[in-house]
Structure 1
Amino acid sequence: MSETLHIVGGGMAGSEAAWQAAEAGLNVVIHEMRPHVATFAHKTGDLAEMVCSNSFRSDDDERNAVGLLHWEMRAAGGLIMEMADRHSLPAGGALAVDREAFSAAVTERLRAHPLISVSEEEVTELPSSGNWIIATGPLTSGALAEAIRAETGAEQLAFFDAIAPIVHAETVDMSIAWRQSRYDKGETEEQRTAYLNCPMTKPEYEAFIDALLAAEKTEFHEGETAGYFDGCLPIEVMAERGRETLRHGPMKPVGLTNAHKPAEKAYAVVQLRRDNALGTLYNIVGFQTKMKYGAQTNVFRMIPGLQDASFARLGGIHRNTFINSPRLIDAQLRLRSKPNIRFAGQITGVEGYVESAAMGLLAARLAVAELAGRELAAPPPETAMGALVHHITGGADAKTFQPMNVNFGLFPPIDAKGGRKGRKDRYKAYTDRSKIAFNEWLAGQD
């Protein structure tokens, strides 16, 4: 093809979209403002840089919706999944990656593609001509966000997201902490011991909650109002919902046995997940926070095993921009008022690395088909990718629309003929049905 597809944003969605389009024969220009224009969370100019976590979450493609989405993207020749698999780390039943190696590999592959070029500039307006995908993610620049707001008339495009701290592994006290994945998940010993666990007694937990609630927090700027995405709540916001909330959330002690004191049940457990291939860095699972830096070090060092912890990165809070997709974009991911522009990734209201990349993959394939004069419908709603796109383009109520991870609640219900199915059997039925439908969708493009 002689057409050119312009992609704004070189994150998960933009990188996947560029790969899919170029592999289909389109010339692609990735417009990525980093490193010339920095963001709060990004540290490099690499494409597909991971900033909030190093986990793609569950890789179980038989009973888990995000694992099923992994499967679909692999089946569609997704670059993000290929590089994630190549640079994976032990993480029990989850897919975690070496962040720096992963991003470097995606960047190298895209820059080496003969049909892809990278323009290091900030796009500040919505183009009126040409073929475009806006995949600027949760940290869309202020100028472009204003342009989107002016075009769509949306009154609110932003909520706030938080990132978790990372600890130097050598500073964790292993006479207190122990290695174990919850319920010993994983096929190998390395996978079954992928997490570090720090136990708490009830008095230690209560003191931690008191300190957490009293700590100095980062406040919103004047005039900024927003809600949090429930899947990435700051721990202090969770604690404010009830003193036991954390103990039934990221600090739940179930499925873990203290290797130092097997007969003693911890009241709460803080888990740390390996963050790089060398095993020198660990992130504190579920500990997104808006505490100020000084308060973070004081509070987190109250965790048994982290009393002498050194932090490679402290947590933080940042703006997350997304559009009201059910109102603004059509089933082809095109902006209704400017159909030469598609949106992809977290800005569409999907949440998570894999979900974002999946929308990039889909936006590119839809663009390729349109430019070739072919009609391509989105994957059917029985698939993980189809369930997501259906949700953001009409399945969700525009009045209450909020970002969403992929989950089986977005899928058409399974007909449980012959009796009620148990949860595991029902989830397996969802994934079996989805794989058939997704393979048929792919076959229709050959």
Structure 2
Amino acid sequence: MMTVTVIGGGLAGCEAAWQLANRGVKVKLYEMKPKKFSPAHHSPYLAELVCSNSLRSDQLENAVGLLKEEMRLLNSLIMECADATRVPAGGALAVDRTGFSQMVTGKIKSHELIEVINEEVKSIPEDEYVIVASGPLTSDLLSESIKKFVGNEYLYFYDAAAPIITYESIDKEKVFKAARYGRGDDDYINCPMNKDEYLNFWRELVNAQVAELKCFEKQIVFEGCMPVEVMAKRGEQTLLFGPLKPVGLTDPRTGQEPYAVVQLRQDNKEGTLYNIVGFQTHLKWGEQKRIFSMIPGLENAEFVRYGVMHRNTYINSPKVLNAIYQSRTNDKVFFAGQITGVEGYIESASSGLVAGINMARIVQGKDKLIFPKETAHGALSHYISDACITRFQPMNINFGLMSSLNERIKDKREKNRRIAARAIEIIKNMSNTENYN
């Protein structure tokens, strides 16, 4: 029986391994934890969620919601585990961080065709069938091997994780529960600020001390996961249009919309931990405690994890990969996950799904399965493999990447729903064909 090596036990690697094994291909899944941890990883489990516990919108008129639904139809391990461990989050899909990782780990380790090997892989085995899903925090030795393999300049940006606090340390007299625009149940804890409170907080934030970067590293911040202090320095009002946006929220004590609102989202199933939404940060830990305690209701907050910032590395995929995440120069080598330039948990898992399906087909002598641009999976894989792109940047899935409709529809939500319906129909037809597996 043919064996495929998968390097990396994150969401992409686990999804790829699952798709391979379910098609009768034996897998050796290498994960260096718990023997060695990256600067941002702490859990011994597979599929660890480093930043937020939110997998973002679960609505079909949102592109990432569509991507999730496509994955469900394609028997995704990540979606199965996410749906089983979800916690309240309004219109979003958020999960119990530990419960999710434990469930993925259990399913991977119990599969008879998957062998998990806890060792660091230091170089790409180029003469073997391999999927490199080592993530944006790839170890130094493997990074050098990847750099030599791709033969192109490595690109990078900085990503950041938000702090987590205990529920019992929140002052319940100063906060209120509500979902923006009343969507879903009252899943978020909202910390309202008046104008003076906001301005005092903003001044302290823009003047706070940040952790030092290494002198040889240029700071390039990904717009979709920007540190809150970097956002604040763009202007006094910037946060009011970002993570502190009060729109759609009414303080029940005043009957009015607050000047600013900091939202807290449940981080585990028990509801004992909450993360500060949108507060990815690179502030020194002492500064985080001092400044974030200025938020009404968090004066005595107990921080169980402070925000951290780390380097995320990705390859120049349009020059390196094709539309199934396969190397253009070595058809035995695939890449998957954030190292390819897809951005986000679900997008990473999606790339692992496409890579796993196609690797299985290749080792079994079948034709490639290329997802069309009318689907979210296809739109994402075509973006990272578009050789016409000269300045490649990480990208979340969005409807702008997908093929447009033949008819013109003015209402954006209706347009998105129709694009989603078309994509779902295509995925259903693909998954029902005899040659899908």
- 2:62 and 2:202 map into 1 onto residues whose CA distance is 32
1:312-327 pair list within 5 angstroms: 312-327=304-319
Residue 298 of structure 2: aligned partner: 306
Q: Deviations over 1:120-139 (max 9, x none)?
A: 11111121211100001121
Residue 365 of structure 1: aligned partner: 357
Cα pair 1:12 1:357 within 8 Å, conserved? yes
Q: Deviations over 1:269-311 (max 9, x none)?
A: 0000000011110000000001000011001001111111110
Cα pair 1:380 1:438 within 8 Å, conserved? no
Q: How much has 1:377 moved relative to structure 2?
A: 2.8
Identify the match of residue 199 of structure 1 among 187, 192, 207: 192
Amino acid at match of 1:175: E
Instruction: Give 5+ residue unaligned stretches, structure 1.
Output: 187-191
Q: Deviations over 1:38-68 (max 9, x none)?
A: 111111221111110111111112x111111
- SS of structure 2 residue aligned to 1:427: helix
Identify the match of residue 336 of structure 1 among 313, 328, 338: 328
Q: How much has 1:154 moved relative to structure 2?
A: 2.9
1:116-195 pair list within 5 angstroms: 116-186=114-184, 192-195=185-188
Residue 217 of structure 1: aligned partner: 210
Q: Deviations over 1:303-356 (max 9, x none)?
A: 111111110100010011111100111223122233211000111101111110
- 1:117 and 1:55 map into 2 onto residues whose CA distance is 29
Q: Deviations over 1:134-186 (max 9, x none)?
A: 00112111111111112223333321100000011111111111111111111
Amino acid at match of 1:409: G
- 1:395 and 1:209 map into 2 onto residues whose CA distance is 42
Cα pair 1:177 1:199 within 8 Å, conserved? yes
Distance change in 2, residues 1:45/1:396 (3 Å): farther
Q: Does 1:411 align with 2:411?
A: no
- 1:415 and 1:220 map into 2 onto residues whose CA distance is 49
- 1:220 and 1:41 map into 2 onto residues whose CA distance is 15
Identify the match of residue 81 of structure 2 among 75, 80, 83: 83
Cα pair 1:176 1:260 within 8 Å, conserved? no
Q: Does 1:38 align with 2:30?
A: no
Q: Deviations over 1:197-228 (max 9, x none)?
A: 00111111111111011110123201112411
- 2:212 and 2:416 map into 1 onto residues whose CA distance is 41
- 1:342 and 1:226 map into 2 onto residues whose CA distance is 29
- 1:3 and 1:226 map into 2 onto residues whose CA distance is 43
Cα pair 1:382 1:434 within 8 Å, conserved? yes
Amino acid at match of 1:93: G
Distance change in 2, residues 1:150/1:376 (3 Å): closer
Amino acid at match of 1:158: Y
- 2:45 and 2:218 map into 1 onto residues whose CA distance is 31
Cα pair 2:130 2:334 within 8 Å, conserved? yes
Instruction: Give 5+ residue unaligned stretches, structure 2.
Output: none
Give every structure 1 segment of 4 or more consecutive aligned residues whose post-TM-superposition deviation is greater than 4 Å. none
- SS of structure 1 residue aligned to 2:331: strand
- 2:370 and 2:101 map into 1 onto residues whose CA distance is 28
Q: How much has 1:259 moved relative to structure 2?
A: 2.1
- SS of structure 1 residue aligned to 2:360: helix
Q: How much has 1:395 moved relative to structure 2?
A: 6.8
Q: Which 10-residue stretch deviates more, 333-342 or 318-327?
A: 333-342
Distance change in 2, residues 1:106/1:396 (3 Å): farther
- 2:153 and 2:189 map into 1 onto residues whose CA distance is 43
- 2:100 and 2:26 map into 1 onto residues whose CA distance is 24
Structure 2-normalised TM-score? 0.97
Q: How much has 1:396 moved relative to structure 2?
A: 6.5
Distance change in 2, residues 1:396/1:273 (3 Å): farther
- 2:392 and 2:74 map into 1 onto residues whose CA distance is 28
RMSD: 1.2
Cα pair 1:39 1:139 within 8 Å, conserved? yes
Amino acid at match of 1:52: C
Q: Does 1:259 align with 2:252?
A: yes
Residue 189 of structure 1: aligned partner: none
Residue 424 of structure 1: aligned partner: 413
Cα pair 2:85 2:100 within 8 Å, conserved? yes
